[in-house]
Structure 1
């Protein structure tokens, strides 16, 4: 299996500073994805019987939030930033998506076949699938944050412009999100170092923990973080 991927080092600055926010927020989102991938790999060999379907849902939700993130980037966020950063500034990030997204989609298709009873779960096969795209994805996640360094942002935006972009981003993000899957996964794949991510209103955070998490609670048990925000011990696959 791939060794657990290290989380991205958080960019310098303060989350509440609008010029620091884009890189810090992006890194926090990317760390959530890395947490999810590591959990998928760590649990893969140990899942059997009645735990297979909840685990498959966990894996599908991890991959869906990756897709959701990329859709927001490609349909809104990158264009909004390039109005000031310059056309094509984030083209390389878009192109990097193509190096691993098709492989992720293949993994999703396989997991959906298991979910629908058309294929049999196999931990080794899941790890092979993860290995087909995870290295390229992790490279991309690191590289993308570098493009949003605060010096570039501060040189080309004012605070009001950045706040307007972020407000629109959150509206787009919450418009088509599945409250019963995407929100719980953001908690159980969170990073204890950044408890403020995702930057949801407090009532929605409480609703996630005490209501939206209940429908698929068995699936969220595979997350590396508990509902209290503290890390959980993950199983160690055999070498």
Structure 2
């Protein structure tokens, strides 16, 4: 599939530690976090690439809902990181402030993301794909830079303070449990499953999430996601994580960032 036809750009995906380091010890939590970050980046790329390709009121309405769900998922992830994961890791390792850089990076793009979120309430008649992309341009790079840098930060923490990765794994699993429990299956989990890519990095993470029953993609496809069927037209993959061509590309594609 041509790169311009899918969601691996313009914002670059994060190399997963499982791909770059193989079966190295202690990387479970960092690898899981990298997978999540790539889901958010693919979602953002799907928004950026299709923003100027929606034309009818129905398409615009569904697309703005897609944007709303993306920002809900990202905000929720960051909120639970700040509330649970960051302080838990710092306390367990006895390294107060070790996650402060990541926290500060959250603040760097908050205002611009709030402006984007407000714009998702625009009526179809007032919508401009160019304006929406301009809003993404205000926070896209610092957000994606953060999503890359946090992975390196966690790898550094694991290497220096948690070689076996047990502390990071314990607190990541607590973080993930709360994240999933507070997420809507038909809204947020459907988005997450549809922003995976089982072929990425030669399929090294194709079985993620490991604990999810095999029937979840079918459940999402056949029942739980039907009320938002029009919204899922903008997903970069099907619910099984198979990449597909974006349906609402404009005539020209943006260059890579």
TM above 0.5 = yes
2:224 aligns with: 212
Q: 2:211 & 2:126 partners in 1: Cα distance?
A: 37
1:81 aligns with 2:89: yes
Deviates more, 1:209-218 or 1:99-108: 209-218
Q: Which moved more, 1:66-75 or 1:195-204?
A: 195-204
The residue number in structure 1 matching 2:109 is 100
Alignment TM-score, normalising by the size of structure 2: 0.81
Asked whether the 8 Å contact 1:36–1:62 carries over to 2, the reply is yes
Q: Return 167-176 or 194-203, whichever deviates more.
A: 194-203
1:142-161 matched pairs, under 5 angstroms: 142-149=148-155, 152=158, 155-156=161-162, 161=167
**Structure 1 pair 88–162 and aligned structure 2 pair: CA distance change class (3 A):** closer
Contact 2:25 2:163 in 1 (8 A): no
User: Closer, same or farther in 2 for the Cα pair 1:173/1:19, shift >3 Å?
Assistant: same
Q: CA contact under 8 A between 1:39 and 1:224: conserved in structure 2?
A: yes
| Displacement after TM superposition at 1:190 (Å) | 1.1
* Match for residue 47 of structure 1 among 54, 62, 79: 54
Shift of residue 212 of structure 1? 1.9
Residue of 11, 18, 22 corresponding to 1:5:
11
1:129-148 to 2 correspondence within 5 Å?
Answer: 129-148=135-154
Aligned to 2:70: 62
Deviation (angstroms), 1:195: 2.8
Instruction: Name the residue aligned to 1:233.
Output: 245
Q: Kindly tell me the number of residue pairs found equivalent between the two proteins.
A: 233
- Supply the distance in 2 between the matched residues of 1:75 and 1:151 (Cα, whole angstroms): 19
> What is the Cα deviation at residue 112 of structure 1?
1.7
Once the two structures are TM-superposed, the CA of residue 110 in structure 1 deviates from its matched residue by 1.2
Deviations 1:19-77 (A, max 9, x none): 21121111111111110111001111110212111111111111111101101100001
Structure 2 gap ranges (5+): 1-8
Indicate yes or no: 2:38 matched with 1:31.
Answer: yes
Cα distance, 1:163–1:33 mapped onto 2, change above 3 Å = closer
Q: Aligned Cα RMSD in Å? A: 2.4
Shift of 1:140: 0.6
Range with greater deviation from structure 2 (190-199 or 61-70) = 190-199
CA deviation vs aligned residue, 1:166-204 (integer Å, no higher than 9, x gap): 432232112221221101111111122333334552154
